Amino acid sequence: MRSSLANSPEGSPGRVFLVGCPRSGTTFLQDLLARHPQVMSLPETAFFDDTVGGFSGWVRSGETPKLRGRFGYAGRAARRNAPRKLHEIAEATGLTAPRLCWRWRYAAYVRQFTELLDAAALSRGRSLWLEKTPNHLAYLPYIEALVPGARCIHLVRRGEDVIASLVDAGLRYEQAMDAFDHCLAWWAGQWNRSVEVHRRYAGAPRHLVLFYEDLIADLSGQFRRICEFLGIAVLQPGGETPEIGVARLSREPWKQTAVSGRLVVPEDKRDSALSAHTRRWLRANLYSYQQLREQVAAAQAPRASGGLVPGAEEAELDGGALPESRLRPT
């Protein structure tokens, strides 16, 4: 075991979240960044998803999931799941887990989560940590309010390609039956909700929206852009295998290629995984990908630095109500 939280060095590393729809290339990008000598990463924690809950409601309505407890008090999901999640993170990173006890405020659990990852990064001499859980896209208001200085990388892939990849993985891997057990209409709805969030945050400081096809077409150029956004040394993509693997391959075999350390141009699975009827339905029901690209390009042209979403104020949840959702459908 490495040092406990009590013995962590002074100062805080950078705090970065990588989000996007599942099968959008987030694992590949996470593994790429985890090979950078200044970055520490770990397998998906699903911390906010499991301690707040309500993800299905977000897909249906676009409303930010709400805590069960009022005025920032920790709800049942947080009291039940947060200690377990903190123990899993400590085990993955070789740290001593915080003392397991209930916290009255949800912010206290998030503080432990943040401090645990801070300690893991600092104990390895890394200047930032990267947490990747695709579903954390729905919890960005909590992340912004409760994780000081957090930055967020959004990775977007064409909707038809995402859904074709989900269908393909569900057919090829038995383990994927649980991970990708929703119907096609559900995934289409989740991709559309994700697009709303990407659009809303595209022009926001501390947020960078990238497109998977651009990453594949110009890996070095996009990696430079990411390094500059994170304030770390600009290096060529690649490097040694991360000390902590970013995927649990025994449970997630579909991620094998993504953590191979090399760029593999993805096969177009739309024709093989989706029928002509399904593709017509998707074209009619998914948001326009080209329009999204144009909106993001326009929003990110005059990049700013520091702060939150324009017009949003830093929320203090440790003694007040949760922020109103900024993710309403448009």
Quick check: is 318 in a domain? no
Q: What global pTM score does this model have?
A: 0.87
**Helix, strand, coil proportions of the chain in percent (round to 5)?**
50, 10, 40
pLDDT at 2: 35
As to burial, measured by CB atoms within 10 angstroms (0-12 exposed, 13-18 middle, 19+ buried), residue 233 is: exposed
Low-confidence ranges of the chain (pLDDT < 70): 1-11, 70-71, 100-102, 175-180, 302-330
pLDDT at 175: 62
Quick check: is 316 in a domain? no
Token pair in block for residue 268: 């177009």
Query: Domain containing 78 — which CATH number?
Result: 3.40.50.300
Would you say 219 and 237 are in contact if contact means Cβ atoms under 8 Å apart?
Answer: yes
Angular region, 149: left φ>0, alpha ψ -120 to 50, beta rest:
left
Token pair in block for residue 307: 């702060």
What is the identity of the amino acid at 11?
G
Quick check: is 315 in a domain? no
Q: What's phi and psi for 130, nearest 5 deg?
A: -125, 120
Tens digits of residue pLDDT in 142-151: 999 999 999 9
Question: Residue 272 and residue 265: Cα distance in Å, rounded?
Answer: 17
Angular region, 94: left φ>0, alpha ψ -120 to 50, beta rest:
left
As to burial, measured by CB atoms within 10 angstroms (0-12 exposed, 13-18 middle, 19+ buried), residue 159 is: buried
- In order, the DSSP letters of 271-310 are HHHS-HHHHHHHHHHSPPHHHHHHHHHHHHSS---SSSST
Question: Residue 181 and residue 167: Cα distance in Å, rounded?
Answer: 10
Quick check: is 219 in a domain? yes
Quick check: is 42 in a domain? yes
Would you say 228 and 234 are in contact if contact means Cβ atoms under 8 Å apart?
Answer: yes
Quick check: is 321 in a domain? no
Quick check: is 257 in a domain? yes
Question: Residue 156 and residue 223: Cα distance in Å, rounded?
Answer: 15
Domain total in the chain: 1
| Angle, vertex CA 136, rays to CA 284 and CA 26, nearest 5 | 70
pLDDT at 70: 64
Segments forming the whole domain that contains residue 199: 12-300
Quick check: is 306 in a domain? no
